[in-house]
Amino acid sequence: MQKKALLRRHLRTLRVDGILITDLTNLRYLTGFTGSSGFAVITTRHALFVTDFRYQEQSGQEVRGFTIKIEHTERSREISAICRAFGIRRLGVEGHNITVEFYGRLGKQGIRIKPLPNIVQSLRIIKTPAELASIATSVRRAETAFRKLIPAIRRGTTEQKLALKFEELLKHCGCKKLPFEVIVASGPTAALPHARPTGRKLREGDLVIFDWGGECDGYFSDMTRTVLLRGKDIARQREIYDHVLEAQGRAIEKVRAGAKASDVDGAARKYIRDAGYDEYFGHGTGHGVGLAVHEKPVVSWRSREVIRENMVFTVEPGIYIPGFGGVRIEDMVVARKNGARLLTSLSRKLKIIEV
């Protein structure tokens, strides 16, 4: 198995005899297990997956390439016994996932432990053709649901009603779970970039942000569209929208294997700054999407990452004006040698809902 082989390469360079995988997303990536409790230990000779009684049958159906064991005692003791059985003198653990408390418990078992960087995430960051296919389906399901939602977007309906209907449509389109609760934010509440839907009714002249994601085989998608309800004076709304759209286009243009992630962010940010809205764009331009809806790479001014081929991430600048409203446009791209390939296909032209 390719993933296991890639991980094993790290054993020597990291100077550990085994790696303990506890991050459930990394665990799923490596073993196929989709449950909520388990871990794996990988050495040059062994690949062991451990879960509890509840997942005995499920792990038998899902886990490939690992020996399966059911844990019967407290986890740190279980791990200690495995270290003895496998001759592990020094065990690498996932520093981003192991808590200080659990680390202490492992230490009490007499295990020599070394915190490691998130090496499985560094494998996950480059998507395989099979993963790209799952993500593409995840995008398609999310887009189909949005198209079906559009007729329900009208004056007088509430954010909550739209969000509920949207989530139902996403499930009916085949998403087994949703990466996050759908965001529907209208008028002034659209100035909250991560607003939760409220009972506010949609009014004329409202900008309405929809931020949602789909799922396929555990792979997520993530996108945002902002629509406008026709009103008497919508010049400012249109102006903000045009700025965000232009900023997004400039960021997407920067995407290609070899580009700096901070330059992708910088292209959007510079445009918005030059347009005079600098203080109203506080978040990063994008993030990776895969088995987690927020993963590497980080696309922001702080990022030191270089874009590589087959990385998948969002490009989502926004402008949020407290008391007035907000616009965000979010698409997903896969980085290629010569540029970005868009995974999302929904029109980015401002959609004006007649009232």
Question: ∠ CA 270-276-278 to the nearest 5 degrees?
Answer: 55
Exposure string over 10-42, b if 16+ CB within 10 A, otherwise e: bbeeeebbbbbbbbbbbbbbbbbbbbeebbbbb
Using the rule CB under 8 A, give the single segment among 29-37, 79-87, 207-215, 248-256 that binds a second copy. 29-37
Q: Is 4 a binder of a second copy (CB under 8 A)?
A: no
Least separation, in Å, of the C-beta of 95 and a second copy? 4
Treating both helix axes as pointing N-terminal to C-terminal, what angle do 100-108 and 75-86 enclose, rounded to 10 degrees? 50
Least separation, in Å, of the C-beta of 278 and a second copy? 13
The residue (of 259 and 262) whose beta carbon lies closer to a second copy is: 262
Q: Is 87 a binder of a second copy (CB under 8 A)?
A: no
Residues in contact with 226: Cβ distance below 8 Å, sequence separation at least 6, in sequence order = 190, 207, 208, 209, 210, 241, 244, 326, 327, 328, 329, 350
Least separation, in Å, of the C-beta of 343 and a second copy? 24
Nearest to 19 by CA among 107, 86, 110, 108: 86
Least separation, in Å, of the C-beta of 41 and a second copy? 17
The only residue of 9, 12, 15, 54 in contact with a second copy, by rule CB under 8 A = 54
Query: Which residue(s) pair with 342 in the sheet?
Result: 333
**Do you find a cis peptide bond into 151, omega within 30 degrees of 0?**
no
Please report, for residues 68, 246, 248, 283, 319, the alpha-carbon distance to residue 324 in angstroms, rounded to integers and kept in the order given.
56, 21, 21, 18, 11
Question: ∠ CA 272-276-278 to the nearest 5 degrees?
Answer: 55
Classify residue 318 by its DSSP letter.
E
The residue (of 259 and 295) whose beta carbon lies closer to a second copy is: 295
Window 258 to 297, contacts with a second copy (CB under 8 A): 282-283
**Cβ neighbours of 85 (radius 10 Å):** 11
Spatial distance between the Cα atoms of 41 and 80, rounded to a whole number of angstroms: 11
Least separation, in Å, of the C-beta of 35 and a second copy? 6
Window 138 to 177, contacts with a second copy (CB under 8 A): 164, 167-168, 171-172, 176-177
Using the rule CB under 8 A, give the single segment among 54-62, 130-138, 147-155, 347-355 that binds a second copy. 54-62
The type of residue at 293 is V
Q: Is 53 a binder of a second copy (CB under 8 A)?
A: yes
Q: Is 183 a binder of a second copy (CB under 8 A)?
A: no
Q: Is 115 a binder of a second copy (CB under 8 A)?
A: yes
3-state SS, residue 150: helix
Nearest to 168 by CA among 218, 138, 212: 212
Least separation, in Å, of the C-beta of 131 and a second copy? 21
The residue (of 194 and 337) whose beta carbon lies closer to a second copy is: 194
Least separation, in Å, of the C-beta of 90 and a second copy? 15
Least separation, in Å, of the C-beta of 335 and a second copy? 25
Q: Is 100 a binder of a second copy (CB under 8 A)?
A: yes
The only residue of 6, 14, 35, 273 in contact with a second copy, by rule CB under 8 A = 35
Least separation, in Å, of the C-beta of 123 and a second copy? 18
The residue (of 325 and 340) whose beta carbon lies closer to a second copy is: 325
Spatial distance between the Cα atoms of 104 and 228, rounded to a whole number of angstroms: 54
Site string for a second copy, 295-334 (x = CB under 8 A): -------x-------------------x------------
The only residue of 45, 151, 156, 194 in contact with a second copy, by rule CB under 8 A = 194
Spatial distance between the Cα atoms of 124 and 120, rounded to a whole number of angstroms: 6
| Residues binding a second copy (CB under 8 A) | 34-36, 52-58, 74, 93, 95-101, 103-104, 115, 164, 167-168, 171-172, 176-177, 181, 191-196, 282-283, 302, 322
